[in-house]
Amino acid sequence: MILTVDIGNTNVVVGGFAGEEPSFVDRLPSSREWDGTAWREALGELLRERGLTADKIAGSALCSVVPELTERLRSALREVTRRPVRTVDAELDVGLVLAGYDRRTLGNDRVVDAVSALARYAPPLAVFDLGTATTLSVLDREGAFLGGMILPGLGLSVEALAARASQLPPIPLEAPATLLGTDAVSCMQSGAIYGAAAQIDGLTARVEELLGQPVTAVVTGGLSGLVCPYCRRAVFRDEHLLLRGLHLIYRGIRGSAAGQT
């Protein structure tokens, strides 16, 4: 079993691979208050619930966009699994060609998404990750990373709207009943979901204009299942794109000592 760990701003997503597809996917809160001991206990309990002991785990790969949690999780993983941890960072060569982009400022999640998407879909690519932030990563026909965008995430946008507009309440993110809402809550839900879908459609069209050729749109992240059905253009929803990318990176360069700690 190979463990893959994605440390995001809201959740820590843990996936286990015994083959090409994840055997399980679990989530833990991205608690900044937990110390190394708390993370070790949380990971140990998660693995026990899955019937996994250290001797059943060959290794793990980790990606993080929360620097203060990276070392805590890496140390906890190493202690629980008794195996090295493959960590994606600016020093690890994963084979992604950057067309002028400064790798030091490129989120590790976007790197892993790009590697994973290139292994599964035909470029050029527009890769959307709908998380705490919404990111767009664009890869050209040769697979080089051209750049992209970072936007407020869907949940964050709705929370900010409710917090700053006195007459607008907090709302659950749910599928809208109709395009046009008939009260404040349904208007906010419709605006959030249809707006996010239109964002994907519109930005992909603009990328196609920029590149002068059709683009494959890939959408991942926790909210992808809610938004993708409302996109007008064909998109590939890949819920576990990042975990698959971590698995691919672990397998592809596991023979090298670089990046293992």
Q: Is 101 exposed, middle or buried (0-12, 13-18, 19+ CB in 10 A)?
A: middle
Question: Catalytic positions, please?
Answer: 109
Q: What is the pTM of this model?
A: 0.90
Distances in Å between the Cα of 236 and the Cα atoms of 97, 143, 199, 240 are 23, 17, 15, 12
Q: How confident is the model at residue 261 (pLDDT cuts 50, 70, 90)?
A: very low
Digit-coded pLDDT (tens) for 193-206: 999 999 999 999 99
Q: Is residue 256 predicted with pLDDT exceeding 90?
A: no
pLDDT for 254: 35
SS3 label, residue 148? strand
How many Å is the maximal CA-CA distance in the chain? 59
